[in-house]
A and B are shown apart, each in its own frame.
Chain A
Amino acid sequence: MSIKDSAYKVWRFYADGFRGMTVGRSLWILILAKLAIFFLILKLFFFPDLLERDYDNDADRAQAVRENLTR
């Protein structure tokens, strides 16, 4: 079996599975809504990685943490 056939089979497996879902459909909506809220709202607007955002390199980050921990 070629790679193309195998990939098609895997695709069909997931596509048929999703199509045949009953309870699963509302669950997928829930998962996608949750991921969107987590990553597109909370992560972007409320949870920056402070050291990544405020410093350009690891040496500066280390220096910032050293200052925080020894002041």
Chain B
Amino acid sequence: MNDLMSVVDWSRAQFALTAMYHWLFVPLTIGLSLIVAIMETIYVRTGDAKWKGITKFWMTLFGINFACGVATGIILEFEFGTNWSNYSWFVGDIFGAPLAIEGLLAFFMEATFVAVMFFGWKKVSKGFHLASTWLTALGVSLSALWILIANAWMQNPVGMRFDPSQMRNVMDNFWEVAFNAVAMNKFFHAVTSGWVLAAVFVVGVSSWLLWRKSNVEAAKKSMKVASWVGLAGAVLVAWTGDGSAVEVARVQPMKLAAMEGLYNGSRGQSLVALGVVNADKRPGDTQPEMHFSIDIPYGLSILATHDPNAFVPGINDLIDGIEINAAGDTVNTVSYAERIVLGKKAQDALRAYGEAEKTGDAEAMAAAQAVIDANFKYFGYGYLSSPEDAVPDVPLTFYSFRIMVMTGGYLLLLFVVLLFVSYRKTSVLEKGWLHWVGILSIPVVWICSQAGWIVAEAGRQPWVIQDVLPTGAAISDIPAGSVATTFWIFAVLFTLLLFAEISIMLRFISKSTGSDIEAAK
């Protein structure tokens, strides 16, 4: 069992490492493709060759990031087959179909339009080139759509039916999977967060050019475009984040409770703006939830339901079976202790189904199938030893959420200030302190972006598929040592890749500080 636990821990650490490295590249590709498309549109509309030079400069940085990031997601698929074989079989078509569409779409769109973007400046018309740039931007976002649909299904498994004979989930409603409310919010939240990330990247690099007093006009023009994209992105991120909070309250209330460190819910529940969570607190004990907190009255009720007086359940309430339903009403559902019993019942029935299938006993198979169908909703709870096992890491989820919100709020403010000085106080754009604010904001936006994924993924633990399959049951029975070995291989490989990207980018930017970005070639 100890070895098995190590396999779970190493497999989780490896997946987290590779997913987080992958997500260093992806949002920049999404956002920078949009910014480049806007810059090229300005060039085509104005005919001003300076904009062509600016477009080509950022397009090259897009290309460097694209090249470093491409195929880093493939590693996650390798891990499914080796470390997560139970999971990858169990999810069946639901994961396979969106990923297959993503692979095909990404390959054809990227192979065609990215090539025209980079090779087609002197080969195709201005209009066709511009269309290719926009289609590249659209293509990278659509690639993200399919992977996020697959991820959202794990958070809110809809449109599927479990087939005990195949031991897989079979998709019986593609549209329900594709238009899962969690998926839609997640998609727009992730894509618009990419706009913010790329906008900060452009602001940061432009600030560096301004600080070096190199290509000043190009840097100022770039900063202006990036600030508009960043502001639009930040507003949309906040809006879609609000939508995500409502969905989390509906389908993953335990995650919301962990995000708030909330154990005992109430009507008109306040939101912790700043606080120190009591990491020693456990469900059912009498310890305080927080060591210290500054609260926003009614904040959590508004965030979760848009009703300031609504009840928001805490961890203890959820364990007792108290939730809010789709209409926002408080309902007493099945307690977690009962869910564990029902989950074990479903598992026993699945075992009996397998035995009956071996002997060809159709009647026993039908009886077992009926029990599975009736209790499948709680199938995953059968793996838990106690209701407390269904609680995620509260401090990690709590602090990650606050880091995401606070850094996101800072970036929104940054774009407002940059737009103000770009139009009204242009002399401030020459100030060294502003340049350093821009440069130092680059790591901040990546921290914000990664913190968002930690909230989404650590906050849904212990589930790999919400309520149906816990992470501990999803893994393969393989030696922990082999997963640990590949963990370190990836750690070294991806770090080298990251250094390669940063070094190629810095070399390119440094070279550009000595030349004229605006001189279109």
Residues of A within 8 A of B (CB): 13-14, 16-18, 20-21, 23-24, 26-28, 30-31, 34-35, 37-38, 42-43, 46-52, 58, 61-63, 65-70
- Complex Cα spacing A16 to B75, Å: 32
Known contacts A13-B123, A69-B90: does B167 contact A49 (CB below 8 Å)?
A: no
Contact-residue bracket for chain B: 35 or more
B506 adjacent to chain A (CB < 8 Å): no
Report A-chain residues with C-beta under 8 Å of the C-beta of B78.
Answer: 38, 42-43, 46-47
Closest to B72 in A: A34
Report A-chain residues with C-beta under 8 Å of the C-beta of B119.
Answer: 13-14, 16-18, 20
Report A-chain residues with C-beta under 8 Å of the C-beta of B350.
Answer: 66, 69-70
B70 adjacent to chain A (CB < 8 Å): yes
B413 adjacent to chain A (CB < 8 Å): no
Known contacts A30-B67, A47-B81, A69-B347: does B354 contact A42 (CB below 8 Å)?
A: no
**Is the Cβ of B63 less than 8 Å from the Cβ of A62?**
no
**Is the Cβ of A27 less than 8 Å from the Cβ of B477?**
no
* Besides A46-B78, A51-B88, A62-B166, 13 new A-B residue pairs in contact (Cβ under 8 A), listed by A number: A17-B118, A21-B118, A27-B67, A30-B67, A30-B497, A43-B78, A47-B78, A63-B167, A65-B85, A66-B167, A66-B350, A66-B353, A70-B347
Please tell me which one of the listed residues B64, B71, B351 contacts residue A27 in the complex, with CB atoms under 8 A apart: B64
- Complex Cα spacing A21 to B489, Å: 31
**Is the Cβ of A38 less than 8 Å from the Cβ of B71?**
yes
Report B-chain residues with C-beta under 8 Å of the C-beta of A66.
Answer: 164, 167, 350-351, 353-354
Closest to A26 in B: B504
- Complex Cα spacing A68 to B474, Å: 9
Query: What is the minimal beta-carbon distance from B122 to any residue of chain A, in angstroms?
Result: 9
- Complex Cα spacing A34 to B74, Å: 11
**Is the Cβ of A51 less than 8 Å from the Cβ of B89?**
yes
Query: What is the minimal beta-carbon distance from B378 to any residue of chain A, in angstroms?
Result: 14
**Is the Cβ of B354 less than 8 Å from the Cβ of A63?**
yes
Closest to B65 in A: A27
**Is the Cβ of A17 less than 8 Å from the Cβ of B85?**
no
- Complex Cα spacing A71 to B96, Å: 26
**Is the Cβ of A52 less than 8 Å from the Cβ of B81?**
yes
B165 adjacent to chain A (CB < 8 Å): yes
Report A-chain residues with C-beta under 8 Å of the C-beta of B5.
Answer: none
Q: Which of B67, B70, B348, B473 has the largest number of chain A CB atoms within 10 A?
A: B67
- Complex Cα spacing A33 to B71, Å: 12
Query: What is the minimal beta-carbon distance from B266 to any residue of chain A, in angstroms?
Result: 39
Q: Which of A42, A49, A62 has the largest number of chain B CB atoms within 10 A?
A: A62
Report B-chain residues with C-beta under 8 Å of the C-beta of A38.
Answer: 71, 74-75, 78
**Is the Cβ of A23 less than 8 Å from the Cβ of B504?**
yes
- B57-72: CB near A (< 8 Å → 1, else 0) gives 0001001100110110
**Is the Cβ of A48 less than 8 Å from the Cβ of B81?**
yes
Closest to B81 in A: A49
Query: What is the minimal beta-carbon distance from B484 to any residue of chain A, in angstroms?
Result: 12
- B162-180: CB near A (< 8 Å → 1, else 0) gives 0011111000000000000
Report B-chain residues with C-beta under 8 Å of the C-beta of A30.
Answer: 67-68, 497, 500, 504
- Complex Cα spacing A62 to B85, Å: 11
Known contacts A17-B115, A23-B64, A70-B354: does B82 contact A50 (CB below 8 Å)?
A: yes
Query: What is the minimal beta-carbon distance from A38 to any residue of chain B, in angstroms?
Result: 6
**Is the Cβ of B167 less than 8 Å from the Cβ of A62?**
yes
**Is the Cβ of A50 less than 8 Å from the Cβ of B71?**
no
Please tell me which one of the listed residues A20, A50, A63, A68 contacts residue B81 in the complex, with CB atoms under 8 A apart: A50
Closest to B483 in A: A46
**Is the Cβ of A42 less than 8 Å from the Cβ of B497?**
no
Report A-chain residues with C-beta under 8 Å of the C-beta of B296.
Answer: none
| Residue contacts A-B, CB under 8 angstroms, 15 given | A14-B119, A17-B115, A17-B118, A31-B67, A35-B71, A38-B78, A43-B78, A46-B78, A46-B485, A47-B82, A62-B165, A62-B166, A65-B90, A69-B90, A69-B350
- Complex Cα spacing A26 to B67, Å: 10
Known contacts A23-B64, A27-B64, A27-B67: does B354 contact A50 (CB below 8 Å)?
A: no
- Complex Cα spacing A27 to B493, Å: 16
Chain B 151-168 interface residues, beta-carbon cutoff 8 Å to A: 164-168
